[in-house]
Amino acid sequence: MSDAQSYLRATSADYSRWCGAMEVHRRLLTVNPEYAGNRAVIENTAFSYETQRREAARQGVIDVPVVVHVVHSTPEQNIDDAQINSQIDVLNQDFRAANADVNQVPPVWRDLVADARLQFHLARTDPLGRTTDGITRTQTSVTDWDTDDLVKFSLSGGRDAWPADVYLNVWVCRLRGGLLGYAQFPGGAASTDGVVITHSAFGTRGTARAPFDGGRTAVHEIGHWLNLRHIWGDDDEGCSGSDFVADTPNQAGPNLGSPSFPTATCGNAPNGDMFMNYMDYTDDAAMFMFTKGQAARMDATLDNARLTLSRQAVTV
């Protein structure tokens, strides 16, 4: 982790977004040669989709089965069904560009707003074919968790994943150090595949706490799970990084809070940073769009690395 990242994480507990997806990504690149190889193939495919804008490749809507693993050490962390359902509602609005605040996108970028043709439902059957509400609950003695994936294993006090080729696994727990969530990019091990969200940034009610009570942390992390990068390219606030999407302006680093339009960096005036993009670090109320280029990268993932999910969705 860079010095800038360490500072942001240390100071983000009450004021700023912090995502651990790139921590996980860099760790897996170091320790897992298979992951590195898989990532190269996935990125080559994503590049092809994004540059060719294969919008006609998929016309239908993919409906992804979700299992939410609630891992709790206190009654407060054992969030109720209503809070979980509120998060599913947000996902189904945001990934279809049906969110009420999408009209706040500046006029210069409104033509870029994308319907990702993706929706979500809590799983109806478990891995053994039994009826389920798509929620598991695990009481643990572990008070909080980090990006080391331990929450994803029963042996370490967490909860084992359901098969990642059938379900999107979402772990909800208490994360430490201001961490709101993290995801595993496609190409990693099935046993750790999915996203992790701290309970106070999950959904729109219950324990969800402002300014992260709009359900957008899960939108951001599922974006990573579908192979989207942070919009600024994770280059320690330089201007040489890239999110590998042509229609998102180059920007120096993450935007925090609720910026005013325009906010210019990296010579991107007059329009400046696309800080209202779900893959920036702004508050929930300040992010409300994916672009067509980002949707193309998600298509590449759903047509290839996560193809089995779209096949399973009609029955699970």
Active site residues: 221
Look at residues 216, 240, 245 and name the one whose alpha carbon lies nearest to residue 230.
245
Q: Quickly list DSSP for 148-210.
A: TSGGG-GGGTS-PPPPTTT-EEEEEE-BSTT--EEE--TTS-GGG-SEEEEGGGSSSSTT--T
CB 2 within 8 A of CB 236: yes
CB 102 within 8 A of CB 114: no
Phi then psi for residue 44, to 5 deg, are -65, -40
Burial class (CB within 10 angstroms; exposed 0-12, middle 13-18, buried 19+) of 98 = exposed
CA 294 – CA 50 distance, rounded (Å):
8
CB 252 within 8 A of CB 232: yes
Compute the 3-state secondary structure of the chain and give helix, strand, coil in percent, each to the nearest 5.
35, 15, 55
Residue 185, Cα to own-chain centre: how many angstroms? 9
Look at residues 139, 138, 172 and name the one whose alpha carbon lies nearest to residue 66.
172
CB 178 within 8 A of CB 18: yes
Kindly state the greatest CA–CA separation across the chain.
56
